[in-house]
Amino acid sequence: MSAIGQDIAKRYENGGITSILTMEASWIAVAFFAAAALGVDMVLKKQKSLALRDDCYCADIYSYTKQQTYQVRATRKYLVSQDQVFIADDFFVDEQASAGLVKTCHKAGTNVVAVCAVIEKNLQKGASLLEAMGMEVYSLARIDRIENGQVFSEAAEFFLYSLKNEEDAK
């Protein structure tokens, strides 16, 4: 995970990012290591939090995993118009969740620098919704197809090869 955070930081070190926005437990590690490498704050967005009733920005999202709609919320205190936000995700499947985060950022008047996922599933919708919203999208690995239990992705093989070479060089 540290190497993933370093890769994100290297790519966006001059992007003016002021905070990393994430949600869901599985996204936290990606966001944490990216925020640490960039030296910026990490903001965790909550789903259905009873503690966040007022003074927050909200968006409805459809969960591909749970097959239901949720409302995600971020307090106005931690999402301000001067922010340059980077959104960290674990998987791009149909991207309703990250799109909801983008909508919340837009309600706050913040600029979304990019949306990143560790793995993009191109065999499904992948990041197409985010791209249609005009977002810069960065995926560390892309799954192009799965056949007979094997995953095919030239991008993933390149990324893993690059990480191995970096570790070998140390």
Question: What CATH number should be reported for the domain holding residue 19?
Answer: 3.40.50.2020
Number of domains in the chain: 1
Task: Report pLDDT for 66.
Answer: 80
What pLDDT score does 113 carry? 95
The residue among 153, 40, 26, 17 whose CA lies nearest residue 98 is 26
Domain containing 13 equals: 2-169
DSSP lists the bridge partners of residue 46 as: 73
Task: Please report the pLDDT score of residue 119 as a whole number.
Answer: 82
- Report field, pTM of the whole predicted structure over 0.85: no
Cα separation of the two ends of the chain: 17
What pLDDT is recorded for position 158? Answer: 46
Residue 135 near residue 111, CB atoms below 8 Å: no
Question: What is the C-alpha to C-alpha distance for residues 20 and 88, in angstroms, rounded to an integer?
Answer: 7
DSSP-derived secondary structure letter, 55: S
The pLDDT value recorded for residue 51 is 55
Q: Across the 170 residues of the chain, what is the mean pLDDT of every consecutive 10-residue run? A: 89 93 81 93 69 74 81 82 91 81 92 90 76 90 80 59 53
* Residue 40: predicted pLDDT: 94
Cα–Cα distance between 133 and 25 in angstroms, integer? 25
Residues 35 and 19: their CA atoms lie apart, in Å, by 7
